[in-house]
Amino acid sequence: MRTDLAASYGEERLPRYTSYPTAPHFSPAIGADTYARWLAELPSGAGASLYLHVPFCREMCWYCGCHTQIVRRDGLIAAYQQTLRSEIAQVAETIGRRIKVEHIHFGGGTPTIVAPEAFAELMAAMRHAFFVLPSAEIAVEIDPRTLTADMVEAMRLSGVNRASLGVQSFDPVVQRAINRVQSYEQTASVVDMLQRADIKGINFDLIYGLPHQTVASCLDTVRRSLELAPARFSVFGYAHVPTFKKHQRMIDENHLPDGLARHDQACAIANALKEAGYVQIGLDHFARPDDAMAVAFEDRTLRRNFQGYTTDRGEVLLGFGASAIGRLPQGYVQNEVQIAPYSQSIAAGRLAIAKGYGLTDDDRLRADIIERIMCEFSADLGDICARHGAEAEAMLKSASRLKPLISDGVVRLDGDRLAVANDSRFLVRSVAAAFDAHLDTAKQLHSRAV
């Protein structure tokens, strides 16, 4: 991989393109009434995926970029769970029929902070409101420091079959610098509990670019993680945006690695995982060759949504909970970010949408191009544009940011087919950004490209 390119492009602030357009472009012009209409207009055969956001943690990890808050009182968590159940019922009633569901994802915060019986009640509410297919993937994000045996049993009985464990780093120096002290033994114990509960789909989340992190410490974390043999890894670069996430000011910026050091860490992790037999998928995922995500990557059916890379091929994602984002054929919607206004809306019998975005034909075209670039490192612009009634030549002319990428050898054009060079794939976000008609690089809203 080319360090000269990391130096040239690595400091750019760019979206991760889990949606297009991205969330900063959502507007209050899209509200509850629009969402209700969009739900009622869903085709009769449409299925959906469900995302439930639980915005609570027991303590704050200083690197965190999620919408969450620290809570000590379990009563607040219980009340929020009841609100989630009410919202599920409201959305199902607005749709007007019991649509089928193939994917459910619990995110946070710490979803397993809810009581085991409350988690079981949430799952029962979803199964009552929607037709959750027997083959559905049901995934839960887990903080290994707080998971209990009772919660594992509740997950097993509720049909959970995938768990994402936050690991980040096993280096104790790094852990203290980010306020997340989590031993290898804690993580190994949770993996054992999950496997005994027949929850076999286990993912590990790792982060590079953290304070005091080095290539050596990254490789040591990978080595220890491989001993636990997760099915998938997600490897993210730390996004330091203390202007927007005030708690990140607790991190000493003097100990953060620069762009080239981040690049070296990312390369070292990727090479170690590939040498261990994992398939690199897109920008930041790795999976065993027999895993469903690796199969989707090979079959060119991989997709991208707000959880990153996914095997979910559906066009409808229903978001529940404070700050949750949903996607429908007509556009995107996001709930109230703060818990109080979200809960007040639901209690009043109103959908809690605060903002959203209605897709144009041009947005849909660019979204398809960006998704293929992010998922496959290539895009057949002629084919994609033809399906949208557009001309590839006009699209290429509008992508002025593409010219230096071609000159620098990052991108190759063969007719209308675009491909990212193998040694430049770490800049895939820069390539995708060339087709982003809404991009404003003056606003430091996103993480660094490397």
Q: Is residue 201 helix, strand or coil?
A: strand
Q: 427 with 450: CB under 8 angstroms?
A: yes
Is residue 233 located within the same domain as residue 120?
yes
**CA-CA distance, 390 to 398, in Å (whole number)?**
12
Asked if 266 and 403 sit in the same domain, the reply is: no
Alpha helices in 197-338 (DSSP H): 215-226, 259-275, 292-299
Q: Are residues 234 and 164 in the same domain?
A: yes
- Position 346 in a domain: no
Model pLDDT for residues 62-97, shown as the tens digit of each residue: 999 888 999 988 999 999 999 999 999 999 999 999
Region 211-224: what's the mean pLDDT?
Answer: 98
Residue 318 in domain: yes
Is the confidence at residue 4, as pLDDT, over 90? no
Mean per-residue pLDDT for 419-430? 92
Confidence at residue 259, expressed as pLDDT on a 0 to 100 scale: 85
Together in a domain, 38 and 129: yes
Q: Using CA atoms, how far apart are residues 164 and 108, in angstroms rounded to an integer?
A: 11
- Residue 443: pLDDT band by 50, 70, 90 thresholds? low
Give the mean pLDDT of 370-393. 97
pLDDT > 90 fraction of the chain, expressed in percent and rounded: 87
Q: At what angle do helices 149-157 and 184-196 cross, to 10 degrees?
A: 30
Residue 448 banded pLDDT, cuts 50, 70, 90:
low
CATH code at position 169: 3.80.30.20
pLDDT over 70, % of the chain? 97
- Same domain as 129, residue 208: yes
78 assigned to some structural domain? yes
Residue 339 in domain: no
- In a 3-state reduction of DSSP, which class is residue 225? helix
On whether residue 348 sits in a domain, the answer given is no
Residue 316 confidence (pLDDT): 96
CA distance 348 to 343: 9
Asked which of 325, 349, 370 is the last residue of a domain, the reply is: 325
Q: Which of 299, 325, 351 is the last residue of a domain?
A: 325
Q: Does residue 349 lie within any of the structural domains?
A: no
**Which residues are CB-contacts of 43 (< 8 A; sequence separation ≥ 6)?**
none
Indicate if 186 and 39 belong to the same structural domain. Answer: yes
**CATH code at 423?**
1.10.10.920
Q: Are residues 117 and 258 in the same domain?
A: yes
pLDDT digits (tens, 9 = 90+) for 90-132: 999 999 999 999 999 999 999 999 999 999 999 999 999 999 9
Confidence of residue 13 (pLDDT cuts 50, 70, 90): confident
Lowest mean pLDDT among 58-67, 133-142, 229-238, 341-350: 58-67
Measured distance CA(346)–CA(85) in Å, rounded: 10
What mean pLDDT is predicted for residues 283-288?
95
Task: List the alpha helices (DSSP H) in 259-311.
Answer: 259-275, 292-299
- Residue 136 · residue 102 · CB < 8 Å: yes
Q: Which domain holds residue 237?
A: 3-325
In the predicted structure, residue 393 carries a pLDDT above the cut 60: yes
Q: How confident is the model over 370-398, as a mean pLDDT?
A: 96
Q: Is the pLDDT of residue 225 over 90?
A: yes
pLDDT of residue 442: 47
Q: How many residues does the chain have?
A: 450
Same domain, 382 and 320: no
pLDDT digits (tens, 9 = 90+) for 407-423: 999 999 999 999 999 98
Q: What is the pLDDT of residue 3?
A: 67
Tell me the pLDDT tens digit for each residue of 178-208. 999 999 999 999 999 999 999 999 999 999 9
Residue 66, judged by CB atoms within 10 A of its CB (0-12, 13-18, 19+), counts as middle
Handedness of CA 237, 241, 245, 249 (dihedral sign): positive
From 304, 325, 346, give the residue that closes a domain: 325
Give the total number of structural domains in the chain. 2
Do 272 and 183 fall into the same domain?
yes
What's residue 10's pLDDT? Answer: 66
* Domain co-membership, 94 together with 9: yes
Domain check: are 262 and 135 in the same one?
yes
Amino acid at 74: D
User: In the predicted model, is pLDDT for residue 155 greater than 70?
Assistant: yes
Question: 344 in a domain, yes or no?
Answer: no
Residues 428 and 287 placed together within one structural domain of the fold: no
Q: Has residue 31 been placed in a domain?
A: yes
